[in-house]
Amino acid sequence: MLCLCGCWAPPNAVLRKEVPPGALATLHADTDVSYARVEALDCAARTVKLRALGAAGTYAIGPRVRGWERLRPGDAVDGRIKVQLSAYIPPPAGDVHPPSARVQVVDLSFRLITLQYASGETDIFKVDLNDPLHAVMPGAWVDIRPLTVTSLGALGERRPAADADACVSSGAARSPP
């Protein structure tokens, strides 16, 4: 019994070292949006401006998205979007722009990241397989850049393309009246 007592050592705390300010990682992620509002369509550029994820962003419309020409500004849509997340640690003081969101949870096993916006709402993003998710930590600030809409569906009644009047034959952009 005396021999075993000599081998014991008290547990020591593993302290996380201070992370210096700066960029942590740039991630590409997918998320589902519900009840996003169409603010504008540009048929020539094949883009849609959606009010989703706490702010409006202009997204390229992916090649597999069908029926987007029938949408008009003000329509509510459900969809799947791809965004670029730039995670960083802000400098301690100085002229710093407010972040789009803050990291709440990082789930490495399922490659999920939960972000919280200033309004208190949260969204979960599925991060691409080759992106360095291990570099991101809770509390980091995140800027969100819209990339692509990969699926889009109008909520409510469907209209024929001629009635929608969102994309005119000349390809000019339409915005809300």
Q: What single string gives the DSSP state of each residue in 115-169?
A: EE-TTS-EEEEEE-TTS-GGG--TT-EEEEEEEEEEEEEE-S----HHHH--S-T
176 falls within a domain = no
Please indicate, yes or no, if residue 62 is contained in any of the structural domains: yes
Q: Judge whether 54 lies within some domain.
A: yes
- Give pLDDT tens digits for 41-64: 999 999 999 988 766 789 999 999
Total domain count, the chain? 1
Asked if the model's pLDDT at residue 8 lies above 60, the reply is no
Domain annotation covers residue 172: no
Domain extent, residue 88, equals 21-157
Residue 173 within a domain: no
**Poorest-pLDDT segment among 67-81, 87-101, 141-155:** 87-101
CA dist., res. 108 & res. 78, Å (int)? 27
pLDDT averaged over the chain? Answer: 81
The pLDDT tens digits for 128-168 are: 999 999 889 999 999 999 999 999 888 865 555 555 555 64
Q: What pLDDT is recorded for position 45?
A: 93
Q: Is residue 111 part of a domain?
A: yes
State residue 177's pLDDT score. 46
Judge whether 127 lies within some domain. Answer: yes
Average pLDDT over residues 111-138: 91
With respect to residue 123, please indicate whether it lies within any of the assigned structural domains: yes
Query: 165: closest CA among 43, 52, 56, 19?
Result: 43
CA distance 55 to 63: 24
